[in-house]
Amino acid sequence: MNLLDLFARRASMPGSGRALPGRAEPITTPGAHFVNGRPIAGPYPDGIRTAVFGLGCFWGAERAFWKAPGVYVTAVGYAGGETPNPTYDEVCSGQTGQNEVVLVAYDPKVTSYEALVKLFFESHDPTQGMRQGNDVGTQYRSGIYVADADERATAVHVRDAYAAELAKRGYGDITTEIADRGPFYFAEDYHQQYLAKNPGGYCGLGGTGVACPVGVGVAAA
């Protein structure tokens, strides 16, 4: 297989029924968050909501969110594909359809879903298709995984507003997938809060430098 064939394979989703089988049991149940000590897998306090985003390598993506106001806890994992309870190596094979994602548990009294979507878009380049910077593969695609119609409407609104700003500066079309939120599978423990455990670790995440022109208001109680 030459390099062009390898690139094409890594940048293509597996066909229907061709994904790896995975397994019935979770590969891990994470404990306390390395940064704030809160339970990664819950239970969360009453009123806490969750959101799921994919924006390239999940090490840097998670760090962008755990620093945000109103975020209770974060976790990295896999979503958007077919293979249940995949391993990291399986996801990297390109044969699961899964995306590297961040689960963000947040307090809607302090921040809003719109604010998180704004942060999502500003934290990476959403025009790059099946890659993010030097990281190439379907697991690095830009994605927002929505729980309901309200989240979908917000995601579409923010995407369209940001697309207009990017176009003014010569960027191509946004390739972010906005899809119904299916199962979220926690990644292996060593990936959780990786850049807090390894401050000098690799982070290929970089935004465009273009501000997203939407508000950051808090939802009414």
Please, are residues 143 and 56 in contact by the beta-carbon 8 Å criterion? no
Pick from 180, 148, 185, 144: nearest CA to 41: 185
Answer whether the bond into residue 69 is a cis peptide, omega within 30°. no
Amino acid at 65: F
Which H or E element spans position 102? strand 99-106
DSSP code per residue over 133-152: TTEESGGG-EEEEESSHHHH
- The burial class, CB within 10 Å (0-12 / 13-18 / 19+), for 7 is middle
* 57 classed as catalytic: yes
Catalytic residue among 57, 92, 203, 212: 57
The catalytic residues are: 57
